[in-house]
């Protein structure tokens, strides 16, 4: 067990209101940060991530409870932390070097020593040669590098970051993230622990040894687990994508208890290789509806062979439809009998719009590939993703023919459920027309918050 550096005990935050009521921002929470770990905190905006970070650093006082720094109340302890914010407020009238020296100067460090330390850290974060530049001459990515240098130059025992990469473009963020990870892993910096707030699931899975997911109203820890995938982490491995998918599910189902973690999260060898993607049965939504209606006529349950007979179907043609209906939770199969479920019954009895709705939630709930496509579209500013991207992931598991069939079925299901559209001429998954305006608003809110 690594030693605990910061420990929050039953910390709470609430804001007084003119009325009797108070706004509870953080419910009583226990949390500790130990030496050797990178902790990532995820949660919807307004769930209190920044508030929690400020309390853990000693920047803000909890309304109740206590934060301890090496087991001493934080208010009286000799705290050594730095914080990197989304936009780092650099002094525009100071050069890069002077900006980095500023916190050391504030600590009363002698000139030669603070210059030596500042130059060393500027070198480590790739700012060699930019010492004399002024912030306004730098790109956003370079400015954030200065932010990192200024945070790291004091050699903080714990480095806190609040969405440090979210104002940067994707490539710059990726670059800076891996450089930070390298400094940490090679122990170029003496920092003992890192606490990062983010709203980027992949970022959390790339960096963290431990991930905490907060829920809101009031802010509280919904789940807190270790990530044991070895570094360097590859976004394309099953362990990685399964964990991203798991967290996505937790975040999009704020009212349910988080399910058990996927087994493959360790990414350790041993045991049977897990199939990452389920094989989508090649069935059309219309066929599924037809089968369910027929089952209803048969009192909701019948032998699969007899159903095939009734439909004048070959069993091989019927099975994918049965499999698809089963995958979607519309029917169950035991000993050759197909039995319709309550959702299946509702589906068979509904009008087309309600059918689409039921199909949509069943598909999102049960089909990993569809969830990944939706998420990828949401993550892109132009709301479009090339088919090739998913082709490359699928063909690690399926033959070329099967990969194409999987994509065809996913496109079919996604279009029917209005989850996404597919632009066949550009071979890109795109957001369905009429949802665009609504989703754009959501995206803006998220960024504003
Ligand atoms: P996050 O960083 O997860 O987006 P914050 O920690 O910034 O969330 O805020 C959590 C909640 O606390 C928000 O709902 C916000 O409106 C509320 N809040 C923050 N500061 C105050 C304040 N001074 N008075 C009242 N409510 C506040
Ligand atoms: Mg915040």
Query: What's the pLDDT tens digit per position in 216-231?
Result: 989 999 999 999 999 9
CA distance 266 to 243: 10
pLDDT in tens, 41-63: 999 888 999 999 999 999 999 99
Ligand 1 centre distance from Cα of residue 216 (Å): 10
- Tell me the pLDDT band of 249, cut-offs 50, 70 and 90: confident
pLDDT at 438: 46
Which-ligand-closest: CA of 56?
1
Distance 14 CA to ligand 1 centre (A): 9
Q: What is the pTM of this model?
A: 0.70
Mean pLDDT of 184-195: 95
Q: At what angle do helices 170-185 and 140-152 cross, to 10 degrees?
A: 20
Coil, helix or strand at residue 150: helix
Of the candidates 361, 370, 371, 364, the one whose C-alpha atom is nearest the C-alpha of residue 245 is 371
* Ligand located closest to 216 CA: 1
The percentage of residues in the chain with a pLDDT greater than 70, rounded to a whole number, is 93
User: Closest Cα to atom 22, ligand 1: which residue?
Assistant: 15
The two tokens of residue 377 are 């579209």
pLDDT at position 377: 92
| Ligand nearest to C-alpha 449 | 1
Nearest to 419 by CA among 376, 360, 365, 372: 360
Separation CA 83–CA 156 (nearest Å): 9
Which residue, by CA, sits nearest to atom 27 of ligand 1? 15
Q: Which CATH architecture has domain 276-366?
A: Orthogonal Bundle (1.10)
- From 11, 46, 200, 204, mutation site for ligand 1 pocket: most ligand atoms within 8 A of C-beta: 46
Segment 242-250 mean pLDDT: 88
Contact residues of ligand 1, CB 6 A cut-off: 15, 23, 25, 43, 45-51, 449
CATH 1.10.10.10 range(s) for the chain read 276-366
Rounded distance from Cα 446 to ligand 2 centre (Å): 10
Closest-CA residue, ligand 1 atom 23, reads 15
Mean pLDDT of 146-163: 96
Backbone angles phi, psi at 286, to 5 degrees: -60, -40
Helices (H), 63-108: 96-106
Q: How far is the CA of 51 from the centre of ligand 1 (A)?
A: 7
Give 60 Cα–ligand 1 centroid separation in angstroms: 13
- pLDDT surpasses 80 at 432: yes
Q: How far is CA 147 from the centre of its chain?
A: 24
258 φ/ψ angles, rounded to the nearest 5 degrees:
-55, 135
pLDDT reported for residue 434: 65
3-state SS assignment for residue 70: coil
Structure confidence at residue 245 (pLDDT): 85
Residue 162: partners with Cβ closer than 8 Å, 6 or more residues away: 49, 50, 53, 83, 84, 85, 86, 197
What whole-number distance in Å separates Cα of residue 426 and Cα of residue 300? 43
The ligand that comes nearest to the alpha carbon of residue 86 is: 2
**Residues 407/387, Cβ–Cβ less than 8 Å:** yes
Ligand 1 centroid, distance to 223 Cα (angstroms): 20
C-alpha span between 6 and 74 (Å, rounded): 9
pLDDT at 270 over 70: no
Whether the pLDDT of residue 24 is over 70: the answer is yes
**CATH code assigned to 4-265:** 3.40.50.300
Ligand 1 atom closest to residue 13's alpha carbon, by position in its atom list: 12
Give the distance (Å) from ligand 2 centre to CA of residue 48: 7
Phi, psi (deg, nearest 5) at residue 112: -65, -40
Of the ligands numbered here, which is closest to the C-alpha atom of 54? 1
Provide the pLDDT for residue 449.
35
Question: Which residue's alpha carbon is nearest to atom 13 within ligand 1?
Answer: 46
Atom of ligand 1 nearest to the CA of 162: 2
For residues 355 and 352, what is the distance between their CA atoms, to the nearest angstrom?
A: 5
Mean of pLDDT values over 122-147: 93
Task: Name the residue at shortest CA distance from atom 17 of ligand 1.
Answer: 25
Averaged pLDDT, 328-345: 91
């Amino acid at each position: 067990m690594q030693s605990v550096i910061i420990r929050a005990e039953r910390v709470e935050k609430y804001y007084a209101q003119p009325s009797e009521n108070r706004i509870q921002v953080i419910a009583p929470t226990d949390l500790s940060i130990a030496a050797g770990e990178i902790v990532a905190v995820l949660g919807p905006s307004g769930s209190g991530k920044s508030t929690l970070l400020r309390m853990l650093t000693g920047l803000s006082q909890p309304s109740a409870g206590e934060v301890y720094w090496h087991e001493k109340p934080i208010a009286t302890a000799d705290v050594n932390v730095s914080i990197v914010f989304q936009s780092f407020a650099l002094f525009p009238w100071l050069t890069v070097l002077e900006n980095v020296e500023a916190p050391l100067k504030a600590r009363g460090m002698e000139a030669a020593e603070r210059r030596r330390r500042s130059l060393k850290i500027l070198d480590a974060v790739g700012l060699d040669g930019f010492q004399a530049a002024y912030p306004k001459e730098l790109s956003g990515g370079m400015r954030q590098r200065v932010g990192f240098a200024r945070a790291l130059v004091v050699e903080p025992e714990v480095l806190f970051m609040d969405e440090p990469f979210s104002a940067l473009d994707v490539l710059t963020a990726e670059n800076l993230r891996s450089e930070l990870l390298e400094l940490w892993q090679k122990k170029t910096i003496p920092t003992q622990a890192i606490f990062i707030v983010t709203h980027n699931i992949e970022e959390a899975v790339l960096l963290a040894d431990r991930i905490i997911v907060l829920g809101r109203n009031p802010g509280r820890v919904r789940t807190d687990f270790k990530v044991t995938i070895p570094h360097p982490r590859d976004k394309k491995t099953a362990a990685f994508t399964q964990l991203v998918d798991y967290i996505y599910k937790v975040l999009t189902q704020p009212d349910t208890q988080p399910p058990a973690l996927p087994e493959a999260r360790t990414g350790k060898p041993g045991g049977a290789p897990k199939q990452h993607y389920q094989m989508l049965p090649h069935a059309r939504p219309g066929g599924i509806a037809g089968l369910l209606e027929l089952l209803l006529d048969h009192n909701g349950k019948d032998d699969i062979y007899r159903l095939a007979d009734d439909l004048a179907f070959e069993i091989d043609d019927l099975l994918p439809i049965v499999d698809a209906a089963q995958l979607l939770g519309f029917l169950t199969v035991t000993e050759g009998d197909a039995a319709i479920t309550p959702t299946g019954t509702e589906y068979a009895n509904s009008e087309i719009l309600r059918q689409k709705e039921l199909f949509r939630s069943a598909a999102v709930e049960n089909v990993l590939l569809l969830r990944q496509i939706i998420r990828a579209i949401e993550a892109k500013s132009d709301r479009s993703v090339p088919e090739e991207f998913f082709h490359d992931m699928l063909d690690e598991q399926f033959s070329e023919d099967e990969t194409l069939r999987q994509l065809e079925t996913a496109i079919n299901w996604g279009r029917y459920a209005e989850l996404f559209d597919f632009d066949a001429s550009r071979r890109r998954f795109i957001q369905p027309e009429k949802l665009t305006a609504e989703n754009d608003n959501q995206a803006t809110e998220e960024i504003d918050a």
